[in-house]
Amino acid sequence: MLLLSGLVLLITLVLAGVLDRLFTQREEADIGQQFAELAIQATDKLDRSLFERVREVQLLANQAGLAGTASTLDDKRRLLEAMQTTYAYYAWLGITDSEGKVLVSANRLLEGVNVAHRPWFKNALKGVHLTDVHEAALLARLLQPKDAKEPMRFIDVAFPYRDAQGRIAGVFGTHLSLAWAADIEKSVMLPLLKRKQVQTLILGKDMAVIMGPKALIGTRPLQNPAFPASGASGYAVERFGDGKTYLAGYSKSQGHSFSPGLGWTVMVIQDLGAAYAPVAELRYQVLMSGVCIAALFAVLALWLAGRTSRPLDLLAASAGRVEAGDIDDIAPIPGAYREIGVLRTSLQSLLKKLKARESAMVQADRRKDEFLATLAHELRNPLAPISSAADLLRMARADEAQQRRLGEMIGRQTRHMTGLVDDLLDVSRVTRGEIALDLRPVDLREAIAEAVEQVAPLAAAKSQGIETQAGAGPAMVMGDRKRLVQVLANLLNNATKYTPAGGRIAVELSMPAERVVLAVRDNGIGMSADLMEHAFELFTQETRKTDRSLGGLGVGLALSKRLVELHGGALSVCSEGKDQGSTFVVSLPALAEAEAELAV
């Protein structure tokens, strides 16, 4: 009961832990996705706003009033100053000639200065209209307040303009301050004002901070950034150079319309502990709920354990009486629940199987004893003439003819013993999977002829006829010729043993769909149903009269079946019963003519 209660408690707590993990992972993903969405919004606004600035400058550069000769420099200056008044984020606007000299600018700043060496001038003539963040030292001295703590930084937008003949007459350029980007940042971060310690960083292509906390401007805070390889947007847990770990939503600028953007990356970051504070609260709630549920289930388990233990005790007592031999069956348990009935039925089935297995073991033990007796008899039969021949050779001087007869007898009996030992060794090798087949294309008709030749003397001794129906065409299989001949010889030898003198044995060969089927039929004493069921088991022999001079250990059929199966085939037997003869059928995969030629 205590064990069951503890198990229920453990399962409940594990389940609570799994649910906690699922919920916290989902919550963490939701928070990270919120940060990523904010970064995407900020990036989109930056890209769209930058596109608007590029389009404005392009339109102004194309205005005839800027390029035409009718407009004076004062007119152009007033136009630039009006635009600067309307769009305060343009820190400087100016028009140069084709050589880079500033012809006119808002508020006359840098008029007369040659800017041909400046990147924005050279890039505009090359078709590059955006220049990334930089510090303009000369312009900063003219515009930056004396009490400013940070240097002014700008983004350049410039387009070439043309004269009346369509030739490039110069460049219309602007220095765009980063104030517009700061306004976008504030508008995006407004929904996160309720969160503490949330910050926004804008990083350049070199991963240096362009906008963000003053302490990070110009630095590269990410030690080993994971997000650049993760795609254009998403979220990640990042470790900064200050040693703290942050949850960071990020999005990389993709540009908008014909404006390619500057490749900036916007990051929305928060200290990991603060970011996942809701997750910690959720984890606490889930775990406390799990503890309460576990306690409830533990009480219920104690009650169920009591109800379960009594029928189990009664069932165990009945099983003990069966073991002691007092009863043969496990009696039904009164008032037991369905599972106890199922368990009792299973135990009853197990008892029947154990009894059947015990009976099978007794039969196997009997067959083993019979086999040992047969083996002793089979080995003693050749040993007796060998021993007698040896005694004759030792005791008297035999003439040459007698020596030859004795030698032939010794050789014949020795070969018989060798055959017995070879059969045992083959069975052992096959059983342990140690036989290696020499697979080659084999015409089964030739294997039949060789097997018939081997068995012919035994059949002739009993005046038995062996009839072969092999057809005219080849019957090719992929196999080990020696082993296939061994299988066929075993089947023929078995047929001659159990067919009376003067009986008939037929070998029939057919080739149904992609198979080669060989049947060995006899009109002998037949086989009982029980023997057919165990015919291919080791050491199985029918209780019938057999000519002991022919020998046999009862392993031939078992060995033949295993050899056929190693060839990918099957061996089966059928018999109509006593004195109705037997038919052994070997089925092997056929080898197509093209495959046979290719194998050769």
Q: What is the CATH number of the domain that holds 204?
A: 3.30.450.20
Mark whether 74 and 164 lie in a shared domain.
Answer: yes
Q: Look at the chain and report how many structural domains it folds into.
A: 3
Average confidence (pLDDT) over 553-560: 76
Residues 205 and 171 grouped into a single domain: no
The pLDDT-based confidence of 397 (bands split at 50, 70, 90) is: low
pLDDT confidence tier of residue 583, bands split at 50, 70 and 90: very high
| Residue 492 pLDDT level (bands cut at 50, 70, 90) | very high
pLDDT of residue 585: 94
What pLDDT does 195 receive? Answer: 56
| Residue 243 located in a structural domain | yes
Of residues 140 and 303, more confidently modeled = 303
User: Is residue 171, in this structure, part of any structural domain at all?
Assistant: yes
Question: Is 2 within the bounds of a domain?
Answer: no
Report the share of the chain in percent with pLDDT over 70: 75
Taking the C-alpha atoms of residue 102 and residue 112, their distance in angstroms, rounded to an integer, is: 5
DSSP state of 330: P
Strands 245-252 and 233-239: antiparallel
Q: Which whole number is the average pLDDT over 149-161?
A: 80
Mean pLDDT of 86-97: 87
Which of the four pLDDT bands, split at 50, 70 and 90, describes residue 216?
confident
How confident is the model at residue 482, as a pLDDT? 87
Q: Which residue did the predictor score with more confidence, 544 or 437?
A: 437
Confidence of residue 398 (pLDDT cuts 50, 70, 90): low
* Whether residue 565 has pLDDT greater than 70: yes
Residue 105 pLDDT exceeds 60:
yes
- Domain presence at residue 296: no
Q: Following DSSP, what letter does each residue of 401-459 receive, concatenated?
A: HHHHHHHHHHHHHHHHHHHHHHHHHHHHHHHTT------EEEEHHHHHHHHHHHHHHHH
Give the model's confidence band at 551: pLDDT under 50 very low, under 70 low, under 90 confident, else very high: low
Indicate if the pLDDT at residue 445 is higher than 60.
yes
- Mean per-residue pLDDT, 401-415: 75
The yes-or-no verdict on residue 293 having pLDDT over 60 is: yes
More confidently predicted of 111 and 550:
111
- Looking at residue 535, its pLDDT comes to 79
Residue pair 583/519 in contact by the 8 Å Cβ criterion: yes
Amino acid in position 162: R
Instruction: With respect to residue 143, please indicate whether it lies within any of the assigned structural domains.
Output: yes
Tokens representing 191 are 């929904």
Least confident of 389-393, 412-416, 476-480, 548-552: 548-552
User: Tokens representing 165?
Assistant: 């003949």
* Residues 480, 435: Cα–Cα separation, whole Å: 11
pTM for the whole structure: 0.44
Does some domain include residue 312? no
Q: How far apart are CA 409 and CA 564, in angstroms?
A: 34
Phi, psi angles (nearest 5°) of residue 194: -75, -20
- In 534-576, beta strands by DSSP E: 570-574
Task: Say yes or no: 209 and 255 in one domain.
Answer: yes
The region of weakest confidence among 143-152, 331-340, 500-509 is 143-152
- Residues 68 and 47 placed together within one structural domain of the fold: no
Per DSSP, the three-state class of 175 is strand
Higher pLDDT, 561 or 132: 561
Q: What would the two tokens of residue 261 be? A: 């953007």
Residue 122's pLDDT band, with cuts at 50, 70 and 90, is very high
**For residues 106 and 228, what is the distance between their CA atoms, to the nearest angstrom?**
40
Shared-domain flag, residues 567 and 586: yes
- When mean pLDDT is compared across 344-348, 350-354, 389-393, 404-408, the lowest value belongs to 389-393
Instruction: Give the highest mean pLDDT range of 83-87, 365-369, 385-389.
Output: 83-87
Task: Give the pLDDT score at 544.
Answer: 41
- Mean pLDDT, to the nearest integer, of 209-221? 80
- Top-ranked range on mean pLDDT: pick from 87-91, 377-381, 486-490: 486-490
Q: Are residues 95 and 127 in the same domain?
A: yes
pLDDT-wise least confident of 110-114, 222-226, 592-596: 592-596
Mean pLDDT for all residues in the chain: 78
Residues 95 and 231 both lie in one domain:
no
**Is 74 contained in some domain?**
yes
- Is 166 exposed, middle or buried, given 0-12, 13-18 or 19+ CB atoms closer than 10 A? exposed
Among 154, 178, 202, where does a domain finish? 178
Last-in-domain residue among 149, 178, 207: 178
Boundary residue ending a domain (142, 159, 178): 178
Task: Verify that 122 and 257 share a domain, yes or no.
Answer: no
Higher pLDDT among residues 455 and 301, named by residue? 455
241 and 105 inside one domain: no
Residue 224 shares a structural domain with residue 118: no
Give the burial class of 501: count Cβ atoms within 10 A of its Cβ; 0-12 exposed, 13-18 middle, 19 or more buried.
exposed
Mean pLDDT of 7-19: 69
pLDDT above 90 for 9: no
Query: Is residue 550 predicted with pLDDT exceeding 50?
Result: no
42 with 57, same domain: the answer is no
Which range of residues forms the domain containing residue 58? 53-178
Helices 556-566 & 481-497, crossing angle to 10 degrees? 150
pLDDT tens profile 295-334: 777 777 677 766 677 777 777 877 777 777 677 777 777 7
The answer to whether residues 443 and 582 belong to one domain is yes
pLDDT of residue 547: 41
Q: Is residue 392 part of a domain?
A: no
